[in-house]
Amino acid sequence: MPIGDKIILKQVLRDECLPALARQAAYFSVGDVRDWLRLRNLTCPPALLREYLSAFMRGGVIHDAGRGWYSRIAEPCALNEKPVARLSKEVAKAFPLLDFTCWSTEQLRSYGHLLLARFAAFIHTERDAMSSVAARLRDNGYDIHLNPRGAAARQFAIRERTVVIRPKPTTQPHDGHLVTVEGLLVELFMEVRA
């Protein structure tokens, strides 16, 4: 591809393609970029397209959303850690070598269509440790539900300091003992499905 064509292609991407895709949706993929170019009878070698998209990310034109996806949104979603910070510290102090993660419905408070009045926290840990963690937290005044399923799940009610203890998935995105946004979305999907 001649240098002049490369310059024009880069300008078309920056000035037309990316703004058009960003207006259509908050997120778009490299496939969406290729489709946009194809509809206009423009071609760009994959390596050159990756190079241009990387340059646009460095320049703040677009932002990385992971795995070939891009966004017009500059700031990644971050969960409020405060609702589970105390619980996480308590469990980590009582079981310093335990592999666990936690999250709370309170972390979703500002993202829901309905306002929640009570919140439940979830701890995911090794199956062998679930009973020990439950006993320790129950002694500390928590309302514990040990992996409720079936009838127990249907009768589940959120009270003060409600904690649900579940087996830890083998691959759950987390940052220390706190579940990340991606991990939380997967967890919510699995909860609804179950």
pLDDT of residue 181: 84
76 part of a folded domain: no
Do 132 and 178 lie in one domain? The reply is: yes
What average pLDDT score do residues 57-73 get?
90
Let me know whether 106 and 36 are in one domain: no
Average pLDDT, stretch 82-102?
Answer: 94
In a domain, 77, yes or no: no
User: How large is the average pLDDT for residues 100-125?
Assistant: 85
* Residues 94 and 147 occupy one common structural domain: yes
Averaged confidence pLDDT in the chain: 88
Confidence of residue 15 (pLDDT cuts 50, 70, 90): very high
Same domain, 159 and 114: yes
Cα Rg for the chain, rounded, in angstroms?
23
The neighbour count for residue 10, using CB atoms within 10 Å, is: 16
Domain boundary among 45, 71, 97: 71
Inside any domain, residue 141: yes
Per-residue pLDDT band for 155 (boundaries 50, 70, 90) equals confident
Q: Final residue of a domain: which of 71, 91, 111?
A: 71
Structural domain count, the chain: 2
Stronger pLDDT, 79 or 101, i.e. the higher one: 101
Predicted local distance difference test score (pLDDT) of residue 4: 59
DSSP for 108-152, please give it: GGGG-SS--SS-EEEEEE-GGGHHHHHHHHHHTT-EEEES--THH
Domain that holds residue 180: 82-193
| Whole-number pLDDT of residue 153 | 67
Say if 42 falls within a structural domain. Answer: yes
CATH number for 54: 1.10.10
- How would you label 113-136 residue by residue, b for 16+ Cβ within 10 Å and e otherwise? eeeeeebbbbbbbeeebbeebbeb
